[in-house]
Amino acid sequence: MRRLISALVAAAMLVAPAFVSAVPVDDRDAFITELLSKMTIEEKIGQMHLPAYPQLVTGGAYNANIDSLAEHGLLGGIFNILDVEGIRHLQELAVEKSRMGIPLLVGLDVVHGYNTIFPIPLALASSWDIPAIERTARIAAKEASAGGINWTFSPMVDISRDPRWGRQAEGAGEDPFLGAAIARAMVRGYQGDNLSAKDNILACVKHFALYGAAEGGRDYNTVDMSRQQMFNVYFPPYKAAVEAGAGSVMSSFNLVDGLHATANKWLLTDVLRRMWGFKGFVVTDYASIAEMGVHGFGSLERNSVAALEAGTDMDMTSDAFIRCLKNAVDRGEVTMERINTSVRRILEAKYDLGLFRDPYKYSSGDRDARKANAADAAFARRMAAETFVLLKNQNSLLPLKPTGKIALIGPLADTGANMVGTWSVTAHGNYPSLLDAMREAVGNRGEVIYAKGANLYSDAHIEAGATPGKFAMRDSRSEEAMLAEAVAVAKQADVIVAALGEGAEGSGEGSSRARLTLPDTQHRLLEALLATGKPVVMLNFSGRATVLTWESEHVPAIMNVWFGGSEAAGAIADVVFGKVSPSGKLTVSMPYCEGQIPVYYNHLVTGRPKRPDDGRYAAYTSNYFEIPNHPLYPFGYGLSYTTFEYSDLRLSSDRMDADGSITASVKVTNTGNRRADEVVQLYLHDVERSLAPPVQELKGFERISLDAGESRTVTFTIDPSMLKFYNYNLDYVAEPGEFEVMTGGCSDRCLKASFNYME
Ligand code: BGC
């Protein structure tokens, strides 16, 4: 590489000194045309080159002499650099030293916050609170932009029906409708109305496409799927992000129809640009072009051309374009026109960000907006509390009184660093732990006593993988000693809170799991705590749906707390002690056991369905010997400290015409004794159609807040666009016939009505 850079640099130095545009900067097309007309081929290909700064590395990063590339105009951008002075320095080299003076894109995985860290995306989705999710992206953009970042590799909108896949943590779950709503909100939050404002950053929707359907849930694995499933289930969130104006798209690591997504022209050009009208640029996911060789697609030269021809504009870390494209042009395999097209798209993004007017707007270093502020932290705490999902609450064990002796036990009880979850690249690690927050909440009204009780895993190697670097927290005592201490502490208490589950990196990229139950050592701890006879509340930390079948039979109260971000601990204390009622609803189905995967609510029906799905085996029907077909906890499920009753589902008409619409209204009553939020859900079911219909599909939802005893009628408008699907020929149509309408507080507990759609 070093030799290559020297050759490129030598070529760049032969060209005339700094270029000054004669065209006014306010005419974007003319300005970029002028730039392009003056750029050498090396400079053009340089714009298509995105190396990683060796500060944060997630894969096989190549060593690049980045200063020299910037100075010679051979760099489109840089990513994984976290210090604003370093960014400014590189920007100065690019703008003041390079011949064309083209500023750099500066990327980072700002995935769920920057300094104020919000819950992981899967948790955010569980809030179903779209305006609040948009606000998390807005705050992230404000902070990241002040830290020199102008481009985030987010939102990640991959649908995931397989919790073995660790990256389920980074997306919105299994539903295309909710996923699309969140995708739009995140793009709006990052990019605002006007990308050139100083605190807006470019979004990058990823990973296009189908990455969440990796076989066996093993990361980076093969994907193979019908086009009908792509269009109806997996594509909607990407499409929604594109329609919301996402300025860039990242292709994915997986295969699509046997081709690498990065070199799939149907995907990157026919679907993305021709069908959806995408105007921004496409970047590879990390070293995808280099990895194509490992897949068996041949040489880097061949794969560079294939990726470019398919529609890739920028190469992240493979050093493929910068090594191979010039020769490919010389050999006549690639036209200059094709190169110009990609470079134009990249320059347009820089232009839209306002970088040509003020290249230092992000790296001026004179703002402290990048620091977390108190109002944003308070919002992050409220937001985190909205994401927790109460799975079980026998005899209203929760909320706890902040009095008496409370034993807080578990490997996740006293580790602030683990609260933030995966892709928290800017986390400092010193966040309050649950123990800190519970002690603060209780004050002198009671006492919180603590024991760790167990390591995360008996196997130190697995634990190291699930808690890398600064998050490592292994206790060197024996399992027996830790358990004995925990039991002794638990015996003194009135109630036990068990903080169990995954480490921060136990889910996320490369963190696939084949067993989704609590690791053995934590399971033994939980059994021992239950054996004390004291009431036990289990807090399950996870970045995915896990298997809680044993727990749901034996533990009286269970709440999924995901990874709640920098304010998670306080938020958990708020909910545990009842300051806030839980209101999160699952966006991924929680399976009975791993063998049930994939299990998801919007499934199709077999010719031999098992009805009722009561778990009693029936020969020659579609069922298992051991478990029912439905999941343990379904999509849309989540309890509250109050109860909600649904009644009076009414349709404004029992028929709908092609140019008409109807309303569905339902009365929701808070039948408990405290104010709380509820997510009211609307599902439709096309009873008969030409392509096998799912049993139900989410088509609307509304988060409402009701006082004790209060009722509200929630009204959804249903129009023909909501009945449409991609048929066998991939035409987007609504077919006449009967539709069922379902509303309720969970996908499997709905009131039903139906109407006829007439064309
Ligand atoms: C991940 C992407 C990420 C990129 C840059 C890759 O390994 O798959 O999601 O944006 O690295 O950090």
Which residues face 685 on adjacent strands? 740
Mean pLDDT of the chain: 94
Q: How far is the CA of 213 from the centre of ligand 1 (A)?
A: 17
Which residues face 684 on adjacent strands? 697, 741
Q: Strand 49-50 relative to strand 315-316: parallel, antiparallel, unpaired?
A: parallel
Q: Which of 118, 282, 272, 233 is nearest to 185 (CA)?
A: 118
Q: Note the pLDDT of residue 363.
A: 87
How far, rounded to the nearest angstrom, does the alpha carbon of residue 370 sit from its chain's CA centroid? 22
Catalytic residue among 285, 376, 414, 677: 285
Q: Using CA atoms, how far apart are residues 115 and 371, in angstroms rounded to an integer?
A: 6
Average pLDDT rounded to a whole number, residues 735-759: 97
Q: Using CA atoms, how far apart are residues 161 and 520, in angstroms rounded to an integer?
A: 25
Q: How far is the CA of 54 from the centre of ligand 1 (A)?
A: 14
**pTM reported for the whole predicted model:** 0.96
Which band of pLDDT confidence, cut at 50, 70 and 90, is reported for residue 369?
A: low
pLDDT in tens, 549-608: 999 999 999 999 999 999 999 999 999 999 999 999 999 999 999 999 999 999 999 999
| Closest atom of ligand 1 to CA, residue 206 | 9
Which residues face 752 on adjacent strands? 742
Tokens of 736: 């006449």
Which residues face 645 on adjacent strands? 669
Got the DSSP string for 667-694?
EEEE-SSS-EEEEEEEEEEESS-SSPPP
Which band of pLDDT confidence, cut at 50, 70 and 90, is reported for residue 428?
A: confident
List the single range of 63-77, 224-238, 458-472 with lowest mean pLDDT.
458-472
* Residue 517 identity (one-letter amino acid): T
Q: How far is CA 237 from each of CA 156, 243, 552, rounded to the nearest angstrom?
A: 9, 10, 32
Q: How far is CA 736 from each of CA 231, 688, 694, 720, rounded to the nearest angstrom?
A: 20, 9, 16, 10
Closest residue by CA, ligand 1 atom 10 = 153
Q: 624, 610 in Cβ contact below 8 A?
A: no
Q: Using CA atoms, how far apart are residues 348 and 280, in angstroms rounded to an integer?
A: 8
Closest residue by CA, ligand 1 atom 12 = 109
Return the percentage of the chain with pLDDT > 70, whole number. Answer: 94
Q: Note the pLDDT of residue 464.
A: 86
* Residue 39 identity (one-letter amino acid): M
| Residue that the structure tokens 């190169």 belong to | 339
Average pLDDT rounded to a whole number, residues 272-280: 98
Ligand 1 within 6 A of 53 CB?
no
Catalogue the E-assigned strands of 493-643. 495-501, 536-541, 557-560
Ligand 1 within 6 A of 510 CB?
no
| Closest atom of ligand 1 to CA, residue 156 | 9
Residue 252 φ then ψ, to 5°: -110, 170
Q: How far is CA 65 from each of CA 3, 53, 90, 101, 681, rounded to the nearest angstrom?
A: 11, 10, 12, 18, 53
By CB atoms closer than 10 A (0-12, 13-18, 19+), residue 461 is: exposed
Pocket test for ligand 1, best of 165, 204, 207, 285 (most atoms within 8 A of CB): 285
Q: Strand 281-283 relative to strand 315-316: parallel, antiparallel, unpaired?
A: unpaired
Position with higher pLDDT, 366 vs 72: 72
Q: Note the pLDDT of residue 310.
A: 98
- Active site includes 330? no
Ligand 1 within 6 A of 109 CB?
yes
Q: 241, 199 in Cβ contact below 8 A?
A: no
Q: Using CA atoms, how far apart are residues 300 and 16, in angstroms rounded to an integer?
A: 32
Q: Note the pLDDT of residue 62.
A: 38
Above 70 in pLDDT, residue 489? yes
Tokens of 353: 């960000």
pLDDT in tens, 128-187: 999 999 999 999 999 999 999 999 999 999 999 999 999 999 999 999 999 999 999 999
Instruction: Please compute Rg for the chain using Cα positions.
Output: 27
Q: How far is the CA of 286 from the centre of ligand 1 (A)?
A: 6
Q: How far is CA 552 from each of CA 517, 547, 644, 697, rounded to the nearest angstrom?
A: 12, 10, 22, 27
Which band of pLDDT confidence, cut at 50, 70 and 90, is reported for residue 329?
A: very high
Ligand 1 within 6 A of 59 CB?
yes
Q: Which of 69, 56, 179 is nearest to 110 (CA)?
A: 56
| Closest atom of ligand 1 to CA, residue 56 | 12
Ligand 1 within 6 A of 423 CB?
no
Q: How far is CA 202 from each of CA 233, 249, 308, 355, rounded to the nearest angstrom?
A: 26, 10, 22, 12
Q: Using CA atoms, how far apart are residues 247 and 419, in angstroms rounded to an integer?
A: 31
Which band of pLDDT confidence, cut at 50, 70 and 90, is reported for residue 59?
A: very low
Q: Strand 105-108 relative to strand 495-501: parallel, antiparallel, unpaired?
A: unpaired
Above 50 in pLDDT, residue 14? no
Average pLDDT rounded to a whole number, residues 277-289: 98
Q: Using CA atoms, how far apart are residues 70 and 363, in angstroms rounded to an integer?
A: 16
Q: Using CA atoms, how far apart are residues 580 and 563, in angstroms rounded to an integer?
A: 18
All residues at 6 or more sequence positions from 421 whose CB lies less than 8 Å from its CB, including other chains: 112, 119, 120, 123, 169, 504, 507, 508, 543, 562, 563, 564, 565
Ligand 1 within 6 A of 720 CB?
no
| Closest atom of ligand 1 to CA, residue 153 | 10
Kind and range of the H or E element at 655? strand 655-657
Above 60 in pLDDT, residue 212? yes
Q: Note the pLDDT of residue 69.
A: 94
Pocket test for ligand 1, best of 58, 120, 210 (most atoms within 8 A of CB): 58
pLDDT in tens, 627-659: 999 999 999 999 999 999 999 999 999 999 999
* Residue 41 identity (one-letter amino acid): I
Q: Using CA atoms, how far apart are residues 558 and 569, in angstroms rounded to an integer?
A: 17
Secondary structure letter of residue 24 according to DSSP: -
Strands of 737-744's sheet, edge to edge? 655-657, 750-758, 737-744, 676-686, 697-706
Q: Note the pLDDT of residue 472.
A: 59
Which band of pLDDT confidence, cut at 50, 70 and 90, is reported for residue 6?
A: low
Q: Note the pLDDT of residue 351.
A: 97
List the single range of 380-394, 453-467, 641-655 with lowest mean pLDDT.
453-467
